[in-house]
Amino acid sequence: MDFSPTQEQRQIQEMVAEFVDEEVKPRAAEIDDTDEFPWDLVEQMAELGLMGMPIPEEYGGAELDYHSYAMALEEISRGSGGLGTIVAAHISLACNMIYEFGDESQKETYLTPLAEGEEIGAFALSEAGAGSDVPAMDTTAEPIEGGDAYLVNGGKLWISNGSVADTVVLFAKTDPEAGNKGISSFIVRPEEDDGFIVEGTEHKLGDKGCPTAELRFDDMRLPADRRLGEEGRGFVHALKTLNGGRITIAARGVGIAQAALDEALRYAQDREQFDQPISDFQAIQHKLADMDTKTQAARLLMHQAADKKMAGDSFVKEAAQAKLYASEVSREVANEGIQIHGGYGYTKDFPVERFYRDAKLNEIYEGTSEVLRNTIASELLD
């Protein structure tokens, strides 16, 4: 087993890390304070080829392997958790859906501008009454005009990038009586499709800068050629896409944990009490040791899942374990970072409280920790 990154992977990581240190970290507090979508940073990432990292070059992407992609997303999330979500939702969900299940025309028309970073993508699956229970969705897509189009009605909730997206991958029931076999997936163009309505965005605990939107569809007409794959395959599409997406949410968790560890190390060596740096105290040293150990373990689980995916092996359990562990570790490490900072950690004068707020989301979206434990157990018992 070789755990060393290749020269190319290391170069990519160093390039993204430099961009994050120079451009993202100085802006992170501002993004958190204003909660505005960082268009300029997204444009810079597009210029660096970071908005279509694993997508093949023929469709505008950088064709990076999944190790490189995860490492890059880890670095982006180290700078800003919100920016990490923007990129993960755009690539792992929207881009990958079209790449995996779209036809050539759909890839050329809709995937290429997404992968090139000219447009932003979103993934509309969740609803107010259908979070973990996907088949409980109420949104419908009724065939009309002899099967040449669909009429979509319903709404979606918790949609990352939903209010700024140029392309939205939408899931709706084409056969409401068929359960999970009656769900289909579609490409929606908000600026072109009448009946697409952004109801608003959520005021969240963290993950600022990435708008989480509520969407509504009122008699929205979609041409039949916007459907991805066959009717009734949407549930399978969603599961496969979310499985790959969990690797990148693990990367987001690792990045946030690393940021919290970095700040705690810096502060512990600068802060003096009783005439010595607090890093001299064994209690602080043990905290730092545990924080680093957990972060490293989460990183290895992330790469194990990426390796399985690249090899074409089943990686359902590995992706669930990586996402579950990295999510909980990010919160735990961020919490210890606050504790090491003491009273200062509870203020906005230091970034550690932001890491804690950003970390909590990892345990909720793209599969809650409870659902992931069910998934892991099911894989073990199958």
Active site residues: 366
Q: Helix crossing, 66-79 with 234-270: angle to 10°?
A: 50
Q: What is the DSSP string of 313-367?
A: ---HHHHHHHHHHHHHHHHHHHHHHHHHHGGGGGSTTSTHHHHHHHHHGGGTTTS
3-class DSSP state of 142: strand
For CA atoms 246, 247, 249, 250, the dihedral sign is positive
Q: Are 153 and 217 in contact (CB under 8 A)?
A: yes
Pairing between β-strand 183-188 and β-strand 140-144 as defined by DSSP bridges: unpaired
CB atoms within 10 A of CB 8: 11
For residues 134 and 259, what is the distance between their CA atoms, to the nearest angstrom?
33
